[in-house]
Amino acid sequence: MPDRFVEDWRTLVSQTALATRQIISDIVIQHEHDLRQRYGSYLLADPELAELMHAEDIRHEFAGRFVEWVKRLVDPNATAGDLFFTEQHQIGELLARIGFPPHALARSTRKLKLWFLRHLAERNVPREQLVDMMTFIITLFDIALEVRETSYQQEITVDVRVTEAYRLHLLGQNLAMERERQRAALMEWGHAILAAFYQRVPAGSLPKLWKADFGLWLNHKAHILFEREPKLARIRAAVDRVDTQLVPRLQALTFENPEDVRETTRQIEEEIASIKFLVNTIFDEHIEIESGRDPLTRLLTRRFMPSVLMREVHLQKAPNASGFCVLLIDVDHFKTINDTYGHKAGDQALSLIAAAINDNVRQTDFVFRYGGEEILVLLIECDERQGLQRAEKIRIGVENLVIPVADGVDVSVTVSIGLAAFQGELDYKAILTRADRAVYEAKSLGRNRVVIADPRSLTRSDLSTAL
């Protein structure tokens, strides 16, 4: 924990009279029950906290811990700043681990300060002492909150990194093989439930999909592998329908109702087919995306571009940094190729253009498919003069291409390039904005040219972003 926190705490304690701190401690002790009740009500009133602490005994225990924390925080005999901060640090880590909403840290501290101020206002003390007590309360809880928020964020960051590392580990297990494994597990459950039904297993013993290998994978691994994938919710809903509606219905049927059996098994098979389709779709999409390559051009996907650009901006803080350049490349009259020769010809042209661009950059540079017929090149360790030379090399390389679009028909294409050299921006989006304006200028000047972005073209909003 930074020494400044400890120093701030010690300064605050040394500047506040013991009698003043004793009054504050007495308020907590005298009104402990009220504080516990109010905090418990706060946990219940906040929707996110109520969901997190859904049981009354959990809220009661947490409110009790909260009051004990407040009592230790205002203890007039507390002198060990390092112990104080160790506890705040541990609390921050705990709140992160249990999923305590970020907003609740500041909100609960704000409510606590107001609670103290109301009770202080009822005290018959000199005005100067009242101001000292208010100052102590506000500053003390602000310091504690800052420590907790710092620890909270550190714990969240570590958790995100660990989760991402595990996700990458799972991705490295071969997504295509994992897809086949889960499809097989799903079909195996389908065969198992029909076999169990026809063997007339005891009531309530038909296998549930959530407890099968596929269900366990869906519940424990899929959300890590496919983070924020909306189709997972549809799969879970289908599994719920199978386990809560169709399996119990099948369990209640007998062979004396063959039509009902056929109808129920048909519905189960339909749900399995729907789940399998969604699983295939998710895997197919991520096999392409997670490879980091655009399937048509084989360039890097835009998904990883923010991380790469943010790191390059960060690297410019080093004393020996030599800058970087962004080239935003737009294919001239690309729509004409699509309209005249068809989208297949357009795809062929875009693929060859991407290859030509790759051939004219260094292996250490980054080339992204930015969207449609736009390609973004990040030239690392590159100043504006070098960037212009590289951009001209790319422009000429594309201009010299011969692109077959139909039997016996070849076309040539050109590109307009906007070049933006790093100018000390803190936000990479400001660089992209300059490059985008330079591309627009290149097109307005007749296309097939490179235009260097003017740093003076930044608007007031751009500058506020960059700063």
Task: Say if residues 275 and 186 touch (Cβ distance below 8 Å).
Answer: yes
Per-residue pLDDT at 421: 96
Asked which of 48-57, 123-132, 366-375 is least confident by mean pLDDT, the reply is 48-57
Helix (H, G, I), strand (E, B) or coil at 221: coil
Q: Which residues contact 326 (CB under 8 A, 6 or more apart)?
A: 309, 376, 377, 378, 379, 419, 420, 431, 432, 435
Task: Give the pLDDT confidence score for residue 464 in this predicted structure.
Answer: 36
Q: What is the pLDDT of residues 100-109, one digit of tens each?
A: 777 787 888 8
Across 44-53, 124-133, 274-283, least confident range: 44-53
Beta bridge partners of 300: 293, 368
Average pLDDT over residues 152-180: 62
How many other CB atoms are there within 10 angstroms of residue 333's CB atom?
13
Residue 418 vs residues 43, 270, 455: alpha-carbon distances, Å: 54, 52, 13
Residue range 302-352, pLDDT digits in tens: 877 888 888 888 888 888 888 999 999 999 999 999 999 998 899 999 999
Sign of CA dihedral 58, 64, 68, 69: positive
Q: What is the pLDDT of residue 246?
A: 92
The set of catalytic residues is 373
- In this prediction, residues 108-133 reach a mean pLDDT of 88
- Indicate if the pLDDT at residue 294 is higher than 90: no
The pLDDT value recorded for residue 324 is: 94
Same fold, 3-168 and 302-466: no
What amino acid is encoded at 321 in this protein?
Answer: A
Residue 251 has a pLDDT of 87
Identify which of 6-20, 22-36, 276-290 has the greatest average pLDDT.
Answer: 22-36
Kindly state the percentage of the chain with pLDDT values over 90. Answer: 35
* pLDDT digits 0-9 by tens, 184-206: 999 999 999 888 888 877 756 78
Q: What was the pLDDT predicted at 109? A: 83
The domain locations on the chain are 3-168, 175-289, 302-466
* Burial tier of 236 (Cβ tally within 10 Å: 0-12, 13-18, 19+): middle
Q: Which amino acid is at 403?
A: I
CATH superfamily, domain 302-466, is Reverse transcriptase/Diguanylate cyclase domain (3.30.70.270)
Distances (CA, A) of 124 to 118, 129, 130, 135: 13, 10, 9, 17
Q: What is the DSSP string of 118-156?
A: HHHHTS---HHHHHHHHHHHHHHHHHHHHHHHHHHHHHH
> 11, 35, 15, 38: which is closest to 25 by C-alpha?
35
Q: Which CATH architecture has domain 3-168?
A: Orthogonal Bundle (1.10)
Q: What is the pLDDT of residue 245?
A: 93
CB 378 within 8 A of CB 326: yes
**331 three-class SS:** strand
pLDDT at 171 over 70: no
Please say if the pLDDT value at position 216 is more than 90.
no
Q: Which residues pair with 406 in a beta bridge?
A: 409
Tally of CA atoms within 13 A in the half-sphere of 314 that contains its CB: 6
In this predicted model, what pLDDT tens digit does every residue of 15-34 receive, in sequence order?
Answer: 888 888 899 999 999 999 99
Give 307's contacts (C-beta < 8 A, 6+ positions apart): none
Task: Give the model's pLDDT for residue 320.
Answer: 82
Q: What percent of the chain has pLDDT over 70?
A: 87
89: pLDDT strictly greater than 80: no
pLDDT of residue 466: 37
337: tokens are 């190729």
With residue 206 as reference, give the H or E element that holds it.
none
Higher pLDDT, 450 or 149: 450
CA–CA–CA angle 336, 342, 348 (5° rounding):
90
> Sheet of 324-331: strands edge to edge?
366-371, 374-380, 324-331, 415-421, 450-452
Residue-level pLDDT at 59:
84
Mean confidence (pLDDT) of the chain: 84
**The pTM is what?**
0.51
Residue 370's H or E segment, with its range, is strand 366-371
What is the band of 57 on the pLDDT scale with cuts at 50, 70, 90? confident
